[in-house]
Amino acid sequence: MDQPVTHKPVTWDTSKMDVKRVVDVIRVSPEDNPSRTPVEKAPDPELGHEVIPAARYYSTEFMKLEWERVWSKVWLLGGRADDIPGPGDYICTEIGKESVLIVRQHDGSLRCFPNVCLHRGNRLRPEGIGNAQAFRCMYHHWTYGLDGKIERLPDRCTFPQGGPPGMTLPSLPVAEWNSFVWFSLNPEVEPFDDYIAPLKEHLEPYRPERMAWKRDVTVEWDCNWKASVDAFNETYHVQGIHPQLLWYLDDVNVQIDCYERHNRYLIPFAAISPRVAMPSTIPPAIDEIMRHAGMDPAEYEGRVSDIRRDVQLFKRANGKAQGKDYSALNDDQLTDDYHYMIFPNVALNVHADDIMLFRQRPHASDPNKMLYDVWVFELVPEGEPWPERAKHRRFKHGDRSIGQVLDQDAYNLPTVQAGMQSESFPGLWIGEQELRIRHFHKVLDDYIYGPGQKQAGDL
């Protein structure tokens, strides 16, 4: 009889790593998972062990290929739907050299247009959110309706050739899903549902529409956008740059799942890393997790190693009374970090009570720079007032703190970007814990060169 195919959640031998303990993490089994979010370990793709060429991080040619074959072809995250609830509400967001307007229509639907006046090319709006009855260009007052049609063209009689084709801004594909809005620069893009698959069932149970803006920050980082994607696609760096997190999460027992173009990993939180000795007192960050759940750490009689499970049980028992409906989530989701990467540039840490999302955008012209957006949303308990939206802030790499952990993440990136340009560095030497990095670059290769068409010597 055939043995059933089973997938161990963790594929490497944790006992042989640089650890002090071997930990058997309690996990929700696929059979007992009440959530639509699957917990099955996806079979690992065979991606080989080749070096990932460093030049793709600084080459302007490769940057051009990325623009032609990725940024201008795929679905991209535009913003939050709750920023544009009413007619005329819009999000103006930029990607590379392009800028788009995502506009709520009178019938509640969304439309997306390039943010450029058809007359002399002026941007119609600066980046940000707002409301407009119509989009009037600040230069010669050409005016566009919410549907993109030109409503007013001053002195039209002086344009013997007539107005631009159709008297309208071109329409771009737009989609609204799970409280976020998405757009594409590619009129021929596949349906959004096909593109996002299989993540709808993964992420919908979190019901992010119940979460409100908590932080909205953009930082101009001095590195290629992919260096940032890579930075959040592996947990191997925790022991290197986040020593404090070793008393907060288990960076060793991490389940990695690669799908067609997206991927994820599942990190136990409220846990002690096997890399450090088990403490007998509750670490400060786990103390915070307990308090946030409504527990009093001083009352806790269990062992530190039991806290993760006990927080899950406590939230399951008390969530409803706190106005927090966790019924669509499994127990692991009540503590752990389900960390998704939506190709090409969205990393999101989804938790039962919050989402921390990073949108990683290329610079318009310099492969050595990028825009790093941090979006944090927090669950608003039922019956509590919706908080005021966090104000958008923007600054340069290192100018201001974005929190201890993210500062630590940001710290090495400029020197990574510099070091990668050394002639002595052929490329990234990637290990098993970094499988998502390899998967991301494989998906990128398939877009750039065609599926499986990358040749030896290609960047």
Partner 1 sequence: MDLGLQGKKAIVVGGARGIGYAVAEILAREGADTAISARGEDSVKDAVAALSRYGTKVVGKPVNVKRADEYKAWFEWAIEALEGVDVLVPLSSAGGGMGSEKYWHNAFETDVMGPVRAIEAVIPAMAAQKRGSIVLVATTSALEAMGGPQAYNAMKASLITYGKQLALAHGKDGIRVNVVSPGPIEFEGGNWDMIKGTMEKFYQSQLRQQPMGRLGKPEEVARAIVFLASEAASWCSGSHLVVDGAFTNRTHF
Q: Which residues bind partner 1 (CB under 8 A)?
A: 20, 243-244, 246-247, 276-281, 283-285, 296-299, 303
CB closer to partner 1, 277 vs 321 = 277
CB closer to partner 1, 29 vs 244 = 244
Least distance in angstroms from the C-beta of 288 to partner 1: 11
CB closer to partner 1, 197 vs 241 = 241
Least distance in angstroms from the C-beta of 287 to partner 1: 8
In the numeric block, which tokens belong to residue 358? 């990073």
Torsion angles phi and psi, residue 427, rounded to 5? 165, -175
Q: Alpha-carbon distance 253 to 235, whole Å?
A: 10
Q: Is 36 helix (H, G, I), strand (E, B) or coil?
A: coil
Least distance in angstroms from the C-beta of 20 to partner 1: 8
CB closer to partner 1, 278 vs 364 = 278
Closest to 290 measured CA to CA, from 18, 298, 140: 298
> b/e map of 232-267 (b: 16 or more CB within 10 Å)?
bbbbbbbbeebeebbbbbbbbbbbbbbbebbbbbbb
Contact present, 103 and 125 (Cβ < 8 Å): no
Contact present, 428 and 419 (Cβ < 8 Å): no
Q: Is 355 helix (H, G, I), strand (E, B) or coil?
A: strand
Least distance in angstroms from the C-beta of 135 to partner 1: 50
Closest to 263 measured CA to CA, from 436, 86, 81, 71: 436
Q: Alpha-carbon distance 33 to 28, whole Å?
A: 6
Least distance in angstroms from the C-beta of 351 to partner 1: 20
CB closer to partner 1, 158 vs 281 = 281
Torsion angles phi and psi, residue 399, rounded to 5? -70, -35
Q: Is 90 helix (H, G, I), strand (E, B) or coil?
A: strand
Least distance in angstroms from the C-beta of 249 to partner 1: 12
Least distance in angstroms from the C-beta of 295 to partner 1: 11
Per-residue DSSP letters for 194-236? HHHTTHHHHHGGG-GGGEEEEEEEEEEESS-HHHHHHHTS-ST
CB closer to partner 1, 157 vs 277 = 277
Closest to 91 measured CA to CA, from 109, 108, 113: 113
CB closer to partner 1, 283 vs 344 = 283
Least distance in angstroms from the C-beta of 248 to partner 1: 8
CB closer to partner 1, 23 vs 329 = 23
**Pairing between β-strand 255-258 and β-strand 263-267 as defined by DSSP bridges:** antiparallel
Least distance in angstroms from the C-beta of 222 to partner 1: 25
CB closer to partner 1, 161 vs 280 = 280
Q: Within 10 Å of residue 62's Cβ, how many Cβ atoms?
A: 20
